[in-house]
């Protein structure tokens, strides 16, 4: 168990709809990352938050948005869904690199499998 | 921008043999972190090994070791005594200390032949 919790595990929805994916990071981790993994593809970096603020942005579509709340959980909102948005969405959390006692790697949740029909 | 390249989409190795997965990266930074992650069929992302760029010594975790060549920007993973349970996708990852972004290569699918 990585300590990162993602809900729901599976989601099936129709084209044009909007969904929200939720992530609770490991206790004490301030950074949250979101990745998209399409079938048999690599992990595409979407966005990163640090202590409530957006820190880095990857190839995130304008139809997608995210936020990190004061309790450090994060949500990824996907709207106007298309068939091509079907993928596994991972959330990961990490501590600060260079800080004594902090892990430098990202710990991943189990992912949310989104199917758009 | 940093990039991570894994030039081997697929590899196969005989059980009990040794295999090396390649990874190169591009960066202008001097301080960063490198990782290898394993993704078995369950799709869970599992950390295999980490390397801090400021450490010259190559990291080792049991049967897994890396060959970190900072000047060449190369970070290969060696798996010794390959086991059937090692069959998975392996991703090389780079973490910037400056902007904290973590980016991944496209992965190498490793098959273990019994």
Instruction: Dump pLDDT digits (tens) for A43-69.
Output: 999 999 999 999 989 989 999 999 999
Asked whether residue A114 carries a pLDDT value surpassing 60, the answer given is: yes
The C-alpha atoms of residue A97 and residue A94 are separated, in whole angstroms, by 9
pLDDT at residue B56, rounded to an integer: 86
**Nearest alpha-carbon partner for A45 in A82, A55, A53, A14:** A55
8 Å CB contact between B23 and B89: no
Residue B46: the pLDDT is 95
Token pair 């890396």 is at which residue? B66
Give chain B's contact residues with A (Cβ, < 8 Å). 31, 33, 35, 43-45, 47, 50, 52, 91, 93, 95, 97, 99-107
| Residues making up chain A, counted from first to last | 117
By Cβ distance, the residue of B33, B100, B102 closest to A50 is B100
Average pLDDT, chain A: 92
How confident is chain B (114 residues) per 10-residue block, as mean pLDDT?
92 97 95 94 94 91 96 97 97 87 94 96
A84-100 average pLDDT score: 85
The more confidently predicted of residues A111 and A1 is A111
Residues 6+ apart with CB under 8 A from A28: A95
* CATH assignment, B3-113: 2.60.40.10
Boundaries of every domain in chain B? 3-113
Q: What is the distance between the alpha carbons of residues A97 and B98, in angstroms, rounded to a whole number?
A: 9
- Give pLDDT, residue B113: 96
User: How far is B113 from chain A, CA to nearest CA, in Å?
Assistant: 21
pLDDT confidence bin for A2, thresholds 50/70/90 = confident
Nearest Cα residue in chain B from A43: B104
What number is the average pLDDT over the span A112-117? 97
Structure confidence at residue A97 (pLDDT): 62
Residue A100 has pLDDT above 80, yes or no: no
**Mutate which: A105, A108, A109, A114, vs B, most B CBs within 10 A:** A105
- A25-34, A37-46, B76-85: which is most confident: B76-85
Nearest CA-CA distance, residue B92 and chain A, Å: 10
**Encoded tokens for A54:** 């957006």
Q: What is the pLDDT of residue A99?
A: 62
Task: Give the chain A residue nearest B91 (alpha carbons).
Answer: A42
Quick: pLDDT tens for B100-112: 788 999 999 999 9
Confidence at A15, pLDDT banded by 50, 70, 90: very high
**Cα dist from A64 to A81, A98, B7, B50, B98, whole Å:** 9, 31, 30, 31, 25
Confidence of residue A98 (pLDDT cuts 50, 70, 90): low
Residue B98 has a pLDDT of 79
SS3 category, B47 = strand
């Amino acid at each position: 168990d990585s300590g990162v919790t993602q809900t729901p595990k599976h989601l099936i929805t129709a084209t044009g709809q909007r969904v929200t994916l939720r992530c609770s990071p490991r206790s004490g981790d301030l950074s949250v990352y979101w990745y998209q993994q399409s079938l048999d593809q690599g992990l595409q970096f979407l966005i990163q938050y640090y202590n409530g603020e957006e820190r880095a942005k990857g190839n995130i579509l304008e139809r997608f948005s995210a936020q990190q709340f004061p309790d450090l959980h994060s949500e990824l909102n996907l709207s106007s869904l298309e068939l091509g948005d079907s993928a596994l969405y991972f959330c990961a959390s990490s501590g600060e690199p260079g800080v004594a006692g902090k892990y430098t790697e990202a710990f991943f949740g189990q992912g949310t499998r989104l199917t758009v029909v | 921008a940093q990039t991570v390249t894994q030039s081997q989409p697929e590899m196969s190795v005989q059980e009990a043999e040794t295999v090396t997965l390649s990874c190169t990266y591009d960066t202008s930074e001097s301080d960063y972190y490198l990782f290898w992650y394993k993704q078995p069929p369950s799709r869970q992302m599992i950390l295999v090994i980490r390397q801090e760029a400021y450490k010259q010594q190559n990291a080792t975790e049991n049967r897994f070791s890396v060959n970190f060549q900072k000047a060449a920007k190369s970070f290969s993973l060696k798996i010794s005594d390959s086991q059937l349970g090692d069959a998975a996708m392996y991703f090389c990852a780079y973490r910037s200390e400056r902007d904290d972004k973590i980016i991944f290569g496209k992965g190498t699918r490793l098959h273990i032949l019994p």
